[in-house]
Structure 1
Amino acid sequence: MNSILEKNLFFVKEHVGMFKAANNYDIYDPETQNVIMNCREENLGFFTKILRFTSYKVMTPFNIVVKIPNGKNILRVERGTTFWRSKVKVYDEHNQYVGFFKQQLFSFGGKFTIYDPTEKPVCTLKGKWTSWEFSFLRGEEKIANVSKKWAGLGKELFTTADNYMLEIFPTVKPEDRVRELILAAVLCIDMVLKER
C-alpha cells in the first residue's frame, strides 16, 4: 500500500464541465493545499461517452485510475455495466485485487458493504443521498466520515457541490488496507449515488 494513503484527511475535488463524460477528480492534502493524487478515467469507450449524457449514465461502466502527480499508480477502481446493484472492484498500486463493495438491496439513502479479497465484510458505508453525510462503520465503530462540511485548520470549510472532505479516523492504523477500500468507495459515492 502506498504511504500516501496513511494520511487521515483528503479533500476531493471533481473536475466539472458542461460536456464532460469522464469522471475526473483531484485529491488535495487540506493542510498544504497541494494536489497529492489525480483520479482519471483515461480510456472511456465511445458508446460509454454517449450514454454518459443520457439517463443511463448511472448504469455505465467505469475504470478510474488513481495516481500520485509523478504518475505512479495508487489504486484502480472498476465496475462493469450495471442494471440493478453496483459491484465495484478495487486494485492496489501493483494491480493486485484488494476487495470490492456492493450496493445493498433496498437500501434507502445508499448503503454499501465493503469486502476484502476473501469476500469477508470489513466495513459498511452508510449515508443519505439527499445530503453529503456518509460514515464508514466497522461493526458499530465509526472509522471514517465523508462530508461537505469540515471544521479544521481553525476554520469551518463548506465545500461546493462537487467537492467534499474524507476524514479517516486515527483508530484506523496507517498500514490497514481498509484505507484503500475507503478511498475507492468515496469516489463511487459520487458516481453511483450522487449522479442520479
Structure 2
Amino acid sequence: MHPIFNQNIFLVKEQVGMFKASNNFDIFNPENNELVLTCREPNLGFFTKLFRFTDYKRMTPFDIEIRTATGELVIQIKRGVTIFRSDIDVFDGGGRKIGVFKQQFFSFGGRFEIHDQQDKNLCTLQGKWTGWDFKFSKDNKELANVSKKWAGLGKEFFTSADNYVINISDVPQDNSLRQLMIAAVMCIDMVFKE
C-alpha cells in the first residue's frame, strides 16, 4: 500500500466542466493544500460517453484510475453495465483485487457493503437521506465519514462540481481498508448522486 493512504483527512475536488462525460477529481491534503492523488477515467468508449449525457448515466460502466501526483497508479475501480444494483471491483496499482463494493437495494441515502478480496465484509458505507453525509461503520462504530464541502454558490449552481472531505478516524495505518475508503468516495458520486 502506498504511504499516502496513511493520511487521515483528504479533500476531494471534482474538476469543473460544463459538458463532460468523465468524472475527474483531484485529491488534496487539506493541511497544506498539496495535490496528493488524481482520479481520472482515461479510457471512455464512444457509446459510454454518449450515454453519460442521458438519463442512463448511472447505468454506464466505468474504469477509474487513481494515481499519485507523480503518476503512479495506486487504485483502479471497475464496474460493468448495471441496471438495478452495482458491484464494483477495486484493484491495487499492480492489478490485484483488493475488494468489492456491493450496492444495497432500497437504501435511503445510498449504501455499500465493502468487502475484501475474499468477500469478507469489512464495513458499510451509509448515506443519510436528508443530506450529503456518509459514514463508514462496522458494528455500530464509525470508522470514517464523508461530508460535502461547498465551493461557492455560483460554481455549484452552474456546474455539477462537488467537493468532499473524507476523515478517517479509526482505521490503523497501512490497513488496505484505507484504500477501499478512498475508492468508495469516488463511487459515491457516480452511483448515488448523479
TM-score normalised by L of structure 2: 0.92
Q: Deviations over 1:83-123 (max 9, x none)?
A: 01011110012111001011112212111100001111000
Gaps of 5+ in 2: 157-161
Contact 1:89 1:99 in 2 (8 A): yes
Contact 1:40 1:65 in 2 (8 A): yes
Q: Deviations over 1:172-195 (max 9, x none)?
A: 111111111111111100110010
- Match of 2:127? 127
Contact 1:129 1:193 in 2 (8 A): no
Gaps of 5+ in 1: 150-157
Separation (CA, whole Å) in 2 of partners of 1:16 and 1:47: 22
- Kindly, what percent of the aligned residue pairs are identical? 51
Shift, 1:73, TM fit: 0.7
- Match of 1:60? 60
Separation (CA, whole Å) in 2 of partners of 1:82 and 1:163: 26
Equivalent residue letter for 1:90: V
Equivalent residue letter for 1:187: M
Separation (CA, whole Å) in 2 of partners of 1:68 and 1:182: 16
After TM superposition, list the pairs within 5 Å mapping 1:146-185 onto structure 2: 146-149=146-149, 158-159=150-151, 161=156, 162-169=162-169, 171-185=170-184
* 1:189 correspondence with 2:184: no
Of the structure 1 ranges 4-13 and 105-114, higher mean CA displacement relative to structure 2 is found in: 105-114
Separation (CA, whole Å) in 1 of partners of 2:4 and 2:103: 27
Q: Deviations over 1:138-187 (max 9, x none)?
A: 111100000125xxxxxxxx545510100000x31111111111111111
* 1:110 correspondence with 2:110: yes
Shift, 1:16, TM fit: 2.1
* SS in structure 1 at match of 2:23: coil
Shift, 1:130, TM fit: 4.8
Shift, 1:17, TM fit: 0.9
Aligned-CA RMSD value: 1.2
After superposing on structure 2, the runs of 4+ consecutive aligned residues of structure 1 that deviate more than 4 Å are 158-161
Contact 1:147 1:166 in 2 (8 A): yes
Separation (CA, whole Å) in 2 of partners of 1:6 and 1:87: 26
Shift, 1:63, TM fit: 0.5
Separation (CA, whole Å) in 1 of partners of 2:129 and 2:70: 34
Shift, 1:74, TM fit: 1.0
- Match of 1:139? 139
- Match of 1:3? 3
Contact 1:2 1:93 in 2 (8 A): no
Contact 1:91 1:99 in 2 (8 A): yes
Q: Give the number of equivalent residue pairs.
A: 186
- Match of 2:70? 70
